[in-house]
Structure 1
Amino acid sequence: MDSMDRDRRMEDAFPPAESAERLLRVSYFDALTGAYNRTLFTSILEETVNRSRQRDEGFVLLDVDIDRFRMMNEAFGQHFGDAVLREVVARIARWLAPQEVQARIGSDEFAILLPRTTPGPALEWRLSCLLRELALPLPGDDTGLSLSVSIGIASFPNDGATASELLHHAGAALGRAKQQAQHRFVHYAPIEAERSRNRLLLESRLRRAIENGVFQVRFQPQVNLATGHLHGAEALARWTDTDLGVVSPDVFIRLAEETGLARDIDEQVLGTVVEHATRWQAMGIPPFPIGVNLSALHFTDDRLENLMAGLLDRHGLNPAWLMLELTETALLADAERTRTVMDSLCALGVRFSLDDFGTGYSSLSHLHQFPISEIKIDRSFVSRIPGSEPHLRIIRAVINLAHDLAKTVVAEGVESTDQIAVLNAMGCGTGQGYAFDHAIPVDGFEKRWLPRLPPQTVKGQHHAPSVVVI
């Protein structure tokens, strides 16, 4: 077929008017959602800047990002993610007033232009309504998930004199909103730009640290309250940067979760724990459970299963050394997939601990639905005892439940002798927290705590399940 025949057939298939309309839509509209794309929105924003400058009017630019969208996409698939994006556009469209426009400017990022609007109570009321509208359950969805978004706000002319400045500053405010807490809106402030630069710098250094494997692993002991014997330990990642110094775990772990790097850190910690446990096993030390934290990202594919099977086989390690810790977020992101991964790992002999029990969407059904061996009560409950009767009742109920289900219970943050006494009186066998020791390097842990292991049980016998309070 020559070029003239090809062109003639194209004209027959797409008449000139339809071709022009099709070209317009491809050039200026998002194919998935039907919203304006970045090209068209930027043009509208530039025109609004010029018009507002001439009329001495203000306006507001919003940068909106869906929280945990990467995790949803990985957990439920692209089809689910596409449905979420279309639903977000539809809900924003219902919220918009005449002359206000939205655009999809990134994978899960949207821009909203509010002409003749200025920051103040009226705007904040409207944004609160938008957050509530977007948080409603998805129609026809049985996952139980609700959406949340973070919003950055920049206003003309205070926060920028050009379209590019306003987009940049709204993005900086968005970054701050996601750092502070999800599902909220934040106004731009000049310091936001510096914070954004610092965050990018920190992310770059974090990636380099992962590539170079420079994370240290510290061990915090779990101690039997009655005997003083070592019951177990939790392995915790620590990072010291050559220029930044010691970086708080709260900072780099949150950043790792946001950037999808968390499971790379977890896997380095897991590898280090397996190496130490293998060495202790060779020394004849009886196994004690070592907790390793896991990101929800581990439950989206077979990577963790393959890694664990390879580590255990290569090192010949008794899986009784390992207690993998996960939060309810990981359980609920994709319950079916998570259960499949957990069952596969349990078949290898690995056990699981449910972290921060009582702070999220805790449900007793989780204790039956998933193969959980250990429950960890959040430190926010333990910190209120011995004075808070409601918290005492909660802890007592969890302990009794753990006894009934033959599970270990772990309450984080034991810091005083009074807490030890109260917990011991309620039947808690073991504690972890500053009352016993901080998270310390492996050599210090070996010297201080391995001599305090309990006497070995007779071969073939096992201890009954104990209640552990961390």
Structure 2
Amino acid sequence: MLPKRSGTKEILTGLLPAGWATALKIAGGYLLAGLLWILLSDRLLALLSADPEVLTRLQTFKGAIFVLVTALLLFFLLWRHLRTLRRAEEQLFLAARGISSEVGDAFFASLVAYLAEALNTDCALIAALEGEDQCQARTIAFWNQGAIGENFTFSLQGNTCSALQTMESCWCPRGVSDRQDADHPFSRMRIESCLAMGLRDARQRLLGVVLVMSRRPIPQKNTAEALLRIFASRAASELERRAAEHKVLHMAYFDELTGLPNQQKFREVLLEALRQARQTEQQLALVYLDFDRFKTIVRTLGHRHGRQVLQLTAQRLKQQLAESEVLAHLDGDEFALCLPRVASVGEVQAAIERLLVSLKSPIQILGHELYVTASIGVAIYPLDGRDAETLLRNADVAMSRAKALGRNNVQFFNPEMSRQSFQSLVIENRLHRAMEREEFVLLYQPQLDLVRGTLSGMEALICWTQEGRSQFSPSEFIPLAEETGLIDPLGEWILYSACRQNRLWQQAGLPPQRVAVNVSARQFYQRDIAALVARVLRETGLDPRWLALEITESVLFQDIAETLVTLEKLRDLGVHLIIDDFGTGYSSLSYLKNFPVGTLKVDQSFIAGIPDDPGACTITSAVVAMAHHLKMTVVAEGVETAAQKNFLSDTGCDKIQGFLFSPPLKSDAFADLLERSAA
């Protein structure tokens, strides 16, 4: 901050070259006038009159005349000095106000220009310290002979500036160039004299330096030092703000682990590269790289050594880059490379080969040699896309294809393949990685008892997230998981996680509630589902009565005899059974009465039409009545309006779930709901 106006007057005495000289002139003038009056007053009076009587009277007023004359002289001299002082003060504050109104580079540029002009020096600069040892300084603003010059780096060691580590300012009246190496910037500029002042933060850490230099001796150190001191605090504050801003920007745009550009920075780089490619009508290649079985490495070595593998591998990849190539760490073990201005596919292949060569050498971790391979996908502008999103997606698709073909290979995007097959391939590959990276979480949707108006059970719903956002809906990846067989480990994880979480809530003293888990067709028929449920209940310690399994109509009627046997085994375990999405499948009442099912769930497609659709209302009322006749509970899902709730309550529906009561909740939020329901 700039000094206050009242305090600045003390500094202004150092800024005025004639300050001390004026005081000396006033004192000398008064002394000289007194001496002259003493020596010449009688002669002057004699010249005025020859009459003795008049001379006698004049002698009486001689002292008063002296006082009057000298008072007028002192008044004139002091008035002129104070006027000069006031003008200097006003000029200083006008300059300070103009400079202080600016920020960033504009502030530094204005300040060095003002300092050079005010002190009549050839050069002025402001520099920030660089490096851990703080021995190097990089200019932020450099004023050289009436214009802004190019910034440069110089050393603080071996010159007067080195004293700034312990002193407020450094002064060298002559011989600056002689004290530097021949290639030092000060030597090349033939600097004769300089004055430097350190720029420090609130904790007195040296952040930078403000420096005025001249090719001739700077005559007035006090004036220059006072002026630098006025602006040093403001410059230090701006330097600190600038450093904090750069740090925040670096954190926002660069990955902390690898030091490479992050996803946001890479996107900006890619957009700029695409803009230049359009202007020059050149090709651009986007390379997507993913390490193979990296999750296995983490599980084997631990997260700390897994991060170390990423760091070492990233360093190797970075060393293979040309100046124009940009490598970024997107997420986890995924990297992207932008190759601007490529002339041919062969050029792209050569760049990728450099990356693969860098990965061939083993990495030494914990005394063992670890080999890392990668699957790589490539998309080329403009053949495979004309915008960043399309190129990223297609490069990811190509990389997924490389994974599917056995990993450790390179695939170029093929636009002739159907979008649907590629999308399935992408989801399938991401499903594998999602299981490895533990990207699945369970949400719990509460159910409301319409009779009591209280919480009564929940449904566990799987959510696939990346970076805190939902990636795919269950309707997209669950069918593919069944097709590929991933539903087996995924379904077991859902069942185990839901039971374990329910048991943890009970152990925490929260009121027990039944959790419902969906069972797919593959799980139901291709595995001994009863044995799996028994094992999970045993391992988690959950009482079977607090678990419900939801099975769709289509599953029930694939093999009725086998279905009945399996359902009876589950019933014998004490697990509650629910028919999900009732009304969308066979809806065979003759068989339904033979199944040991405790609850029917009305599909939300019927609930959506209530109360305006007479058909939906009729079917829903019939299902509720039929279920109650069979001693079953009825749950309506997808209830979103009060009108739907009122209709269902009037028809005797037992429970509802949907956004009207509550959206699916994370485990901690659902625990809060349980706690409130118990109050």
TM-score per shorter chain, which class?
Answer: 0.5 to 0.7
What corresponds to 1:235 in structure 2? 460
The question of whether the paired residues in 2 share the 8 Å contact of 1:355 and 1:375 is answered with: yes
What corresponds to 1:433 in structure 2? 658
Which segments of 5 or more consecutive residues in structure 1 lack a partner in the other structure? 1-188, 456-470
Query: Which piece of structure 1 moves more, 277-286 or 369-378?
Result: 277-286
CA distance in 1: counterparts of 2:467 and 2:500, whole angstroms: 25
The question of whether the paired residues in 1 share the 8 Å contact of 2:487 and 2:523 is answered with: no
RMSD (CA atoms): 2.3
What corresponds to 2:551 in structure 1? 326
CA change 1:194–1:244 in 2 (3 A) is: farther
SS of equivalent to 2:638: coil
Q: How does 1:37-436 map to 2 (within 5 A)?
A: 193-241=418-466, 246-436=471-661
CA change 1:191–1:428 in 2 (3 A) is: farther
CA distance in 1: counterparts of 2:455 and 2:441, whole angstroms: 22
CA distance in 1: counterparts of 2:470 and 2:628, whole angstroms: 44
The question of whether the paired residues in 2 share the 8 Å contact of 1:263 and 1:294 is answered with: no
The question of whether the paired residues in 2 share the 8 Å contact of 1:413 and 1:433 is answered with: yes
Offset, 1:190: 6.4
CA distance in 2: counterparts of 1:426 and 1:368, whole angstroms: 21
**TM-superposition CA deviations, 1:237-262 (whole Å, max 9, x none):** 00114699622222111221232322
CA change 1:243–1:286 in 2 (3 A) is: closer
Offset, 1:211: 4.0
SS of equivalent to 2:453: coil
CA change 1:191–1:373 in 2 (3 A) is: farther
CA change 1:196–1:242 in 2 (3 A) is: farther
CA distance in 2: counterparts of 1:245 and 1:231, whole angstroms: 27
The question of whether the paired residues in 1 share the 8 Å contact of 2:463 and 2:470 is answered with: no
What corresponds to 2:5 in structure 1? none
Which segments of 5 or more consecutive residues in structure 2 lack a partner in the other structure? 1-413
**TM-superposition CA deviations, 1:93-113 (whole Å, max 9, x none):** xxxxxxxxxxxxxxxxxxxxx
What corresponds to 2:279 in structure 1? none
SS of equivalent to 1:428: coil
Offset, 1:393: 1.4
SS of equivalent to 1:333: coil
Query: Which piece of structure 1 moves more, 240-249 or 276-285?
Result: 240-249
The question of whether the paired residues in 2 share the 8 Å contact of 1:230 and 1:450 is answered with: no
SS of equivalent to 1:235: strand
| Corresponding letter in the other structure for 1:265 | L
CA change 1:244–1:234 in 2 (3 A) is: closer
CA distance in 2: counterparts of 1:372 and 1:450, whole angstroms: 30
CA distance in 2: counterparts of 1:245 and 1:345, whole angstroms: 33
| Corresponding letter in the other structure for 1:443 | D
The answer to whether 1:448 aligns with 2:676 is: no
The question of whether the paired residues in 2 share the 8 Å contact of 1:218 and 1:236 is answered with: yes
CA distance in 2: counterparts of 1:343 and 1:397, whole angstroms: 27
TM-score calculated relative to the size of structure 1: 0.53
The question of whether the paired residues in 2 share the 8 Å contact of 1:213 and 1:268 is answered with: no
CA distance in 1: counterparts of 2:445 and 2:535, whole angstroms: 26
SS of equivalent to 1:387: coil
TM-score calculated relative to the size of structure 2: 0.37
The question of whether the paired residues in 1 share the 8 Å contact of 2:500 and 2:542 is answered with: no
CA change 1:390–1:214 in 2 (3 A) is: same
CA change 1:224–1:311 in 2 (3 A) is: same
Identity of aligned residues (%): 40
CA change 1:246–1:217 in 2 (3 A) is: same
| Corresponding letter in the other structure for 1:420 | K
Offset, 1:195: 3.4
CA change 1:210–1:444 in 2 (3 A) is: same
Offset, 1:340: 1.6
Offset, 1:449: 3.9
What corresponds to 1:21 in structure 2? none
Offset, 1:263: 3.3
Offset, 1:316: 2.6
SS of equivalent to 1:326: strand
**TM-superposition CA deviations, 1:159-214 (whole Å, max 9, x none):** xxxxxxxxxxxxxxxxxxxxxxxxxxxxxx96753432232122011022234443
The question of whether the paired residues in 1 share the 8 Å contact of 2:552 and 2:580 is answered with: yes
| Larger RCO (alpha carbons 8 Å, 6+ apart) | 1
CA distance in 2: counterparts of 1:424 and 1:387, whole angstroms: 16
Q: Which structure would you say has the larger Rg?
A: 2
CA change 1:387–1:207 in 2 (3 A) is: same
| Corresponding letter in the other structure for 1:447 | D
CA distance in 2: counterparts of 1:378 and 1:213, whole angstroms: 30
CA change 1:190–1:205 in 2 (3 A) is: closer
CA distance in 1: counterparts of 2:574 and 2:443, whole angstroms: 24
The question of whether the paired residues in 2 share the 8 Å contact of 1:377 and 1:412 is answered with: yes
Question: How many correspondences in the alignment?
Answer: 266
CA distance in 2: counterparts of 1:334 and 1:421, whole angstroms: 38
